[in-house]
Amino acid sequence: MIDIKHLTKSFQTPGGKITVLNDFSLTALNGTFLGIAGKSGAGKSTLLSLIAGLQKPDSGSIKIDTNEYENSPTEITSLSEKELSAFRNKNIGFVSQEQSFLENLTVLDNVRLPSYLSKGKASSDTDTKITEHARSLLEAFDIAHLADQYPQNLSGGENHRVLIARALINNPQIILADEPTDSVDSERTEEIIHIFRSLANQGKIVILVSHDKEALKLCDKIITI
């Protein structure tokens, strides 16, 4: 589960200090599909970044229980950068709004990359399994034909689907999706949201940030920030 207590995050701007999250608490259990709604600038993306450990809160705690560690749940705000990177790579699939690809790698290689980072030097058998899994994800999002293309040659919608495939490659327990259906047509939106719904049904935690009311309809609960 994810257990967030009294989370506060502020940013210093030329106009002064702005608090985007103030004493925010949330608990999400395995099997939860949670929607986060709210106006632009309300702190939705910041919340996902904090859960993923990409930013540090001013105060409060973020505990994630994966049932894999003796001292579980893990307080991620206390982890070192190296520990946090390893924890995130194994347990969290993050679909960000930024299309953070390595431009010199093909779509297939970008999707496979997190698995290689977690497993280190792979044997031929492991490499085959990683590749097969990556191709199955590309097929699930109807972009298998783009495996040998480079990200700069893809449309915005295609890039979003590649980001989702990459986020799922390590079979993470937690999926954080920040506007994953942006630039995607209504048919693709429905397919993507149904995949997230099925992942939650399998016992994973899915947190979806979206402005799309239709996309939020399949969530178990919607929190407005």
DSSP code at position 15: T
The residue-averaged pLDDT of 188-207 equals: 91
Fold of 2-224: Rossmann fold (3.40.50)
pLDDT score for 168: 93
Nearest-Å Rg of the Cα atoms of the chain is: 17
Per-residue pLDDT band at 181 (split at 50, 70, 90): confident
Structure-token match 């939860």, residue found: 32
Pairing of strands 221-224, 33-37: parallel
| Structure tokens belonging to residue 107 | 């779509």
What φ, ψ does residue 140 adopt, rounded to 5°? -60, -30
| Separation of alpha carbons 212 and 214, rounded Å | 5
Least confident range from 96-100, 147-151, 216-220: namely 96-100
Query: Domain residues of the chain, as ranges?
Result: 2-224
Give the C-alpha separation, 14 to 221, whole Å: 36
Average pLDDT, the chain: 90
**In whole angstroms, how far apart are CA 31 and each of 85, 183, 209?**
24, 27, 17
pTM above 0.85, yes or no: yes
- The percent of residues above 90 in pLDDT, for the chain, comes to 61
pLDDT by residue (tens digit) across 158-175?
888 899 899 999 999 999
Distances (CA, A) of 149 to 32, 91, 158, 159: 35, 28, 11, 11
Measuring CA to CA, how many Å separate 37 from each of 146, 195, 217, 221?
A: 32, 20, 11, 11
Place of tokens 């397919």: 191
User: pLDDT tens digits, residue range 48-84?
Assistant: 999 999 999 999 999 999 765 555 789 999 999 999 9
Q: Tell me what pLDDT residue 17 has.
A: 92
In tens, the pLDDT along 120-169 reads 655 677 888 999 999 999 998 899 999 999 989 998 888 888 998 999 99
Q: In the prediction, which pLDDT does 66 show?
A: 75
Residue 131 backbone phi and psi in degrees, to 5? -65, -45
